[in-house]
Amino acid sequence: MFTIGTLNIGLWIFTRTGNLFEVKTEADSSDVTDFVQDDKPRTNIGTKRSLKVHKSTNDGEKQYRCTVCDKRFTTKSNLTIHSRRHTGEHLYSCSQCDKSFSSPSALSSHKNIHRSKYKCRECGRCCQRSRDLARHRRSHSGQKPFECTVCSKRFTQSANLVKHSRIHSGEKPYKCHMCDKAFTESGTLKTHMTVHMGYKPYKCSICDRRFSVPATLKGHMRVHTGEKPYMCSLCNKSFSRSCSLQTHKLRAHSNSRPYLCSYCGMLFKTNPELRSHVRVHTGAKPQSGQKPFECSVCSKRYRASGSLLNHSRIHSGEKPYKCYVCDKVFTESRNLKSHMRVHTEDKPCKCCLCDNTFSHRGNLSRHMRVHRGDKPYKCPSCDKTFSDAGNLNRHTRIHTGEKLHTCSLCNKNFSQLSHLQRHKRCVHSNSRPYQCPCCGKMFKTDREVGLHVRVHTGAKPHSCRHCSDRFMWYHQLKRHLLESHDEGTWLTCNICQKKFSNSQHFREHIQRHEGVKPYVCNECPKCFCTAQELKHHQLVHSDVRNFACGFCAKSFRSKRSFLTHTNRRGCGPCFSDI
């Protein structure tokens, strides 16, 4: 070290020796400040271009800017190599495998794998660099030398600790210059930038959905294959993504609460739980902020491109997710996942009060309102209350008369999609896929099976809250409450003053006064008021006789005819033996 006079302006002197430029620093004779200079060897620069690069490196000048992500570089060549990350261009191919790289240095590092220069003695894995090998060896030794000072979580690499620490500090140093969204990692920002670029070179071979990075495509393929490679070692539950497994372990098997609320000091297991809690203090609305993604058809806006993609399928009618059991198709993977529980009969959500189980958490939440008696949804027309918003929406159509769903076979309109589907199964289809486990009788819907089984079991699930009477059918209970306890409202016909407890029977009665017969036989021109009457009539055109007398071997088309025969024709003994 040596001290030279005072320095106001540093002078760079370049002395040419052959093809080399020697860089020196000299002090001005008019120096007024003392300055200490290290006695280090001077730098030799080979060419003018190298000298220019050297100066920009020391000055911190980065004049070459990437127009995609706003990152800056000291040299044009570094910018060119960087730009290949956005375009996906890989000019440098490995001669020993199919991999290609955007820069010669990356290719050179990769070739170390084939040379076995940095090889693990435990498993034989080859690494590109010595520091990669050192990190890999920690996976065998279990060594995690880097510890978080907040939650004591340990890591094998210091870089992972730095990224993890941002969870506690809330620091997001990587900011998108197009939408001001910030990220904790540079890789996440790069992936995010592809949203603005619209560059998605990786395409799903099944549903044609495109992705910006291969890892996302790989994870997406598990939606179609059903593969769940990540298994919990404690309960053997499997997951399609590693992050889902980590979240499961935190919530189900760990008491660790590493996420601290800076307002009240409360601890949480996951970051989403913390963010949700912080809104209590800040008053911020959930998912508030900008919505940069707009639907080109209806102008509805979304915060995420994935949400816009799911919405666009409403307009296009695209349903890429197909159930391999029943071939039903869905617009979103989560809807397919929920549907699969119908086939697997998986009901993980259990009521703690009555032991009922449900396939979805939302169904359990709605069920709990039954126990609490909560009915927060009120009809503005008749003040009737409901425990579920969907039931209220369906009820309001009674007042508006709105019927959005039309049968394509008979043009009949329905207020609910489920009613249309049931109409098609019951009226236009002869399929009976549901079988009674007691007698083998086939039915068109599972609800019909459930009701029919009560005939065999004698179950009476409907009990009166005022007395000990029980009933097999709900309409029996309703009539009992009206007649015995004066609870409820009779439905009175304004023409003949006849009273009804069942709304369906009341509607059918009114249709008889009005002469409305909507059910037409497809074999003859006869019309009927109810579907049951039409069904009974169609037996006339059929040769099927399902009811046979065991005493005289006579057969009948309907149960009514069979019972009349046994009571009036002297075949009572055979009937009493049944």
Task: Tell me the CATH number at 374.
Answer: 3.30.160.60
Q: So what's the pLDDT on residue 298?
A: 86
Instruction: Classify residue 455: in a domain, yes or no.
Output: no
- Residue 451 within any structural domain of the chain: no
DSSP character string of 72-89: EESSHHHHHHHHHHHHT-
What's residue 314's pLDDT? Answer: 83
393 within domain boundaries: yes
Q: Are strands 44-45 and 20-26 parallel, antiparallel or unpaired?
A: antiparallel
Distance (Å, rounded) from C-alpha 336 to C-alpha 240?
Answer: 14
* Boundary-marking domain end, from 350, 381, 403: 403
In a domain? residue 479: no
Q: Of 8, 34, 37, which is closest to residue 25 (Cα–Cα)?
A: 37
pLDDT value of residue 283: 66
Q: Which amino acid, 284?
A: A
Q: What is the largest CA-CA distance in the chain?
A: 139
Could you tell me if residue 47 is inside a domain?
Answer: yes
Tell me if 111 is assigned to some domain: no
Would 554 be classed as within a structural domain? yes
- Cα(201)–Cα(186) distance, rounded to whole angstroms? 20
Structure-token pair, residue 252? 């189900």
Final residue of a structural domain among 38, 61, 84 = 61
Output the CA–CA distances (angstroms, integers) from residue 535 to 328, 427, 473, 503, 542, in the order listed: 30, 10, 22, 21, 11
- Identify the pLDDT of residue 24: 42
Kindly compute the dihedral angle of the four CA atoms of residues 77, 83, 85, 91, in this order, to the nearest 10 degrees.
-60
Strand segments, DSSP code E, in 405-558 are 405-406, 413-414, 434-435, 442-443, 462-463, 470-471, 491-492, 499-500, 519-520, 527-528, 547-548, 555-556
- Positions of the chain with pLDDT lower than 50, given as ranges: 1-41, 288, 573-578
- pLDDT, residue 88, reads 61
Domain boundary among 377, 403, 429: 403
**Residue 356 sits in which domain range?**
293-403
Residues facing residue 547 across a β-bridge: 556
pLDDT for residue 61 = 67
Q: Name the DSSP class of 539.
A: G
Identify whether 147 is part of a domain.
no
What's residue 185's pLDDT? 84
Domain count, the chain: 3
Three-state secondary structure string covering 223-279? HHHCCCCEECCCCCCEECCHHHHHHHHHHHCCCCCCEECCCCCCEECCHHHHHHHHH
